[in-house]
Amino acid sequence: MQTAKRFVSRLTRQTLALVLAGGRGSRLHDLTKWRAKPAVPFGGKFRIIDFPLSNCINSGIGQVGVITQYKSHSLIRHIQRGWGFLRGELDEFVELLPAQQRIETSWYEGTADAVLQNLDIIRSHQPEYVLILAGDHVYKMDYGTMLAHHVENDADITVGCIEVPLDEASAFGVMSVDDELRVTEFVEKPEQPKPMPGQPGKALASMGIYVFSTQVLFDELMRDQQMDGESSHDFGKDIIPSVIKRLRVVAFPFRNPVENKPAYWRDVGTVDALWQANLELIGISPELNLYDSHWPIWTYQEQLPPAKFVFDDDNRRGMAVDSMVAGGCIVSGALVKHSLLFSQVKIHSYSEISDSVIYPDVEIGRHCHIRNALIDRGCRIPEGTRIGFDEADDRKRFHVSPKGIVLITPEMLGQDYPHGL
């Protein structure tokens, strides 16, 4: 056991992780109008980017680059504030890599191009392995196990994968594997995904996580660059499908080792998925346990007072039931049911909130009734507002998702966006 731990520890020390955090996240509509998807708040006090970054630190990977591009101000500020605790003298860092036109005179044109344009920086760190991560998924994962799988299988490239329902697989890269987990086919976002053998309702989907032996990465990026005009310079669309027959590409199934089932992993890329994943955390025993001290999620944390609940009259009682409430919140004579309140939310008397996700610095006036809502940072909800009860009326003012979740932003209310999205 100790030998195995030392083996994994050596691999993580020889690895550079690159988090691709430049995506627009257009399916989140107005939530990503002024912020990148990895900067979207999640879980009461975190941002989505905190999950892959925490996985790196908890896995023993202390060298991390975050590649940014789209409306990255709030993301950059969050990382500067919350991720500066690593020890530079031990060669540990979370390094920001914004689009700088280091090689081309264009911005990043795809996930592979984003890595290619930072090739000189990667070389300067001299890693044995490069771990490519998506910065917009929520999960807990020990990357050391995946690195060990990569080395033990003598792989050139290892692709993290998870089972997904067949009717959802068109949103992912879908792969087929042989009995030794070698990838035999890879199709990015197919219209008709191929089911897994023996499981007609499931497909094997890429998580957007790749381990490359470093020289293989360099060679394939340079090869892809020469295909300009024929390639979109994307790992899933171009590089992985093109190397399956030439190189040894191995799948790494992401599973819960205790229960022997697919592990928790969420692509919170739509309003419905984001709302649902947040409210799942309220459950008695949620799949994603934020209270797990053995695998903590690190983040920037403001110094705030405890949440407060005031008034205890029969018709004016400040209380929250079956909910999560972050620091700095004041529930004043209002009722909150099955909802998640981020920091510094203020809810005034006689209001009732249910099945809703309320982002930081929101103020909800008196006599409001709100359900099935996702309210963006800094909104000021006027007194007497009703949301989630009349879909036709909600559509006139707000964005309503396919499953009926109402997204409200300051701009929709005729208000200015707050500083610090």
DSSP result, 49-78: THHHHHHHHHHT--EEEEEE-TT-HHHHHH
Residue where the block lists tokens 């504030």: 81
List CB contacts of 295: < 8 A, sequence separation 6 or more.
54, 58, 140
- Determine contact, residues 147/60, Cβ cutoff 8 Å: no
Return the HEC string of 231-248. Answer: ECCCHHHHHHHHHCCCCC
Nearest CA among 23, 35, 75, 24 for reference residue 411:
35
Number of residues that this document lists for the chain: 421
Residues that constitute the known binding site: 108, 173, 188-189, 206
Other C-beta atoms lying within 10 Å of the C-beta of residue 418:
15
What does DSSP assign to residue 376? Answer: -
Nearest CA among 185, 396, 216, 264 for reference residue 224:
216
Integer Cα distance of 91 and 15 in angstroms: 12
- Count of CA atoms in the C-beta half-sphere (13 A) of 332: 14
Among the residues of 142-213, which ranges form H helices? 143-152
Buried b (16+ CB within 10 A) or exposed e, 161-183: bbbbebeebeebbbbbbeeebeb
Among the residues of 107-188, which ranges form H helices? 111-116, 119-125, 143-152
The token pair that represents 28 in the structure block:
């989140």
List CB contacts of 248: < 8 A, sequence separation 6 or more.
153, 154, 155, 156, 157, 182
Integer Cα distance of 231 and 157 in angstroms: 19
Helix (H) or strand (E) holding 108: none
Nearest CA among 40, 27, 37 for reference residue 376:
40
Q: What are phi and psi of 55, to 5 degrees?
A: -60, -40
List CB contacts of 51: < 8 A, sequence separation 6 or more.
42, 137, 138, 139, 140, 297
Residues that constitute the known binding site for alpha-D-glucose 1-phosphate: 108, 173, 188-189, 206
